[in-house]
């Protein structure tokens, strides 16, 4: 097994193992991919202040997110088609997160169902909800999440319509892959992936097929999904979901301070600063550049987290310094999953935790909960507008 020193090592291994259309699905953005690239680049511009002769013998990364005690302020983000990066991918990622002590979030567009993940884990997990026109289906998803002991609902707000993702269009993305000549040639070089997929029954959208009237197989699923994302989604719907759910509600996709204040007023418990990994509005600012203004606007009233561009523990530390109470990783854990399955997700979390611990120590801090922007070099990080 090749030595894994960083998340980039996992990415390269995943690229070799995962079929092109599913690797590209994870590792791409919309249109020019400018926002996708800027999410990572903006982190690189931020510099640390190194401190010395500070007692750093006793360090702790422990924190909490939405009332959940976590081994470090990192959760696994909701990602669609996770079970196509590796057979039974959502189950494997959830188990790795549970053992490590960080939250796992299951996407509505997962391959393994809510019930699948609940049956293979002990700790409560979070469920991510897309708002669709079929409100009866939304109500049933909420009830299924409650029955599965989900401890929080993550409501994604920035996918009322789908961003144009050129790689998915060129690859003819489908679940499972269509037996075209190009796909068959690509799959011929991914035999370990194929072998694993042959030995699982989970190859479709487990939360949808068989749970929606008129959707019994993949041929009917595609048309239903395309017609269901609701462009009429508004804050009244958020309040309705909050009442219907009754538990912890986290709003994902906030990129503006005014929207953050509306999120606070909706009664949500936390918000996630996120541009959907650069997969929706190309040309949007990076998530980290939007964070300070949002943290300043509502950080005293609700938890502010960040998603987008995190590839290292140093990125986590920078987000915490700029006002995030927690962070979420998506592509980073998908690389680990695609590369090595459950062990790869664990390795991803180990790498990030070690980088976070060492970098915090070099900056003269011992408690992640007490880190502030004083660890950053002034002028290298974004600030809230005056």
**331 known member of a binding site:** yes
Catalytic residue from among 86, 120, 276, 365? 276
Cβ–Cβ < 8 Å for 214, 224: yes
Write out the two tokens for 299.
């950080």
| Residue 247 marked in a binding site | no
Give the residues across from 254 on adjacent strands.
273
Where does residue 384 rank: exposed (0-12), middle (13-18), buried (19+ CB within 10 A)?
A: middle
Considering only CA atoms, which of 334, 316, 314, 333 is closest in space to residue 325? 316
CA–CA gap between residue 247 and residue 291 (Å, rounded): 25
CA–CA distance, 304 with 294 (Å, rounded to integer): 8
Query: Is 274 one of the annotated binding-site residues?
Result: yes
307 has binding-site annotation: yes
Say if residue 330 carries a ligand binding annotation. yes
Q: Quick check: helix, strand or coil at residue 307?
A: strand
Nearest Cα residue to 251 out of 316, 300, 302? 302
**Annotated binding residue 107:** yes
252 is in an annotated binding site: yes
Has 308 been labeled as part of a binding site? yes
Give the separation between CA 242 and CA 129, rounded to whole angstroms.
12
Is 310 flagged in the annotation as binding? yes
Q: Which two tokens mark 216?
A: 């019994």
Q: Is 318 annotated as a binding residue?
A: no
Closest CA to 376 of 64, 37, 56, 43: 43
Let me know if 199 is a catalytic residue. Answer: no
178 marked as binding residue: no
Structure tokens belonging to residue 220: 């009917």
Is 30 annotated as belonging to a binding site?
no
23 is in an annotated binding site: no
Residue 309, marked binder: yes
Structure tokens at 106: 């299951």
Active site amino acids: 276
Binding residues for glyoxylate, as ranges, are 25, 165, 276, 279
Binding residues for FMN, as ranges, are 78-80, 107, 128, 130, 156, 252, 274, 307-311, 330-331
């Amino acid at each position: 097994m090749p030595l894994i020193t960083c998340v980039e090592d996992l990415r390269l291994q995943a690229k070799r193992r995962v079929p092109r259309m599913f690797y590209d699905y994870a590792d791409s953005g919309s249109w020019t991919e400018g926002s996708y690239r800027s999410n990572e680049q903006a982190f690189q511009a931020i510099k640390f202040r190194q401190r010395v002769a500070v007692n750093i013998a006793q360090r702790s990364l422990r924190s909490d997110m939405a009332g959940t005690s976590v081994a470090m302020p990192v959760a696994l983000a909701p990602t669609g088609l996770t079970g196509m990066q590796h057979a039974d991918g959502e189950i494997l990622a959830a188990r790795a997160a549970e053992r490590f002590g960080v939250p796992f979030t299951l996407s509505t567009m997962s391959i393994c169902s809510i019930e699948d993940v609940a049956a293979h884990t002990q700790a409560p997990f979070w469920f991510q909800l897309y708002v669709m026109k079929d409100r009866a289906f939304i109500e049933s998803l909420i009830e299924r999440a409650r029955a599965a002991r989900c401890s929080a609902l993550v409501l994604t707000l920035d996918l009322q319509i789908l961003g144009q993702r050129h790689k998915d269009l060129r690859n003819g993305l489908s679940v499972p892959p269509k037996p075209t000549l190009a796909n068959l040639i690509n799959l011929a070089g991914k035999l370990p992936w194929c072998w694993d997929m042959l030995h699982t029954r989970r190859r479709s959208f487990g939360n949808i097929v068989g749970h929606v009237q008129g959707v019994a197989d993949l041929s009917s699923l595609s048309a239903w999904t395309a017609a269901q994302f609701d462009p009429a989604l508004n804050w009244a719907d958020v309040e309705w979901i909050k009442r219907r759910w009754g538990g912890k509600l986290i709003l994902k996709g906030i990129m503006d301070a005014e929207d953050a204040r509306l999120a606070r007023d909706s009664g949500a418990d936390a918000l996630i600063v996120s541009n959907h990994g650069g997969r929706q509005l190309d040309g949007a600012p990076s998530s980290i550049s939007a964070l300070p203004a949002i943290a300043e606007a509502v950080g005293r009233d609700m938890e502010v987290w960040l998603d987008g561009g995190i590839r290292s523990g140093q990125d986590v530390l920078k987000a915490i310094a700029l006002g995030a109470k927690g962070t979420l990783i998506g592509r980073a854990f998908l690389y680990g999953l695609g590369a090595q399955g459950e062990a790869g997700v664990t390795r991803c979390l180990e790498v990030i935790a070690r980088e976070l611990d060492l970098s915090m120590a070099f900056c003269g801090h011992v408690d992640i909960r007490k880190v502030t922007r004083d660890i950053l070099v002034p002028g290298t990080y974004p600030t809230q507008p005056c």
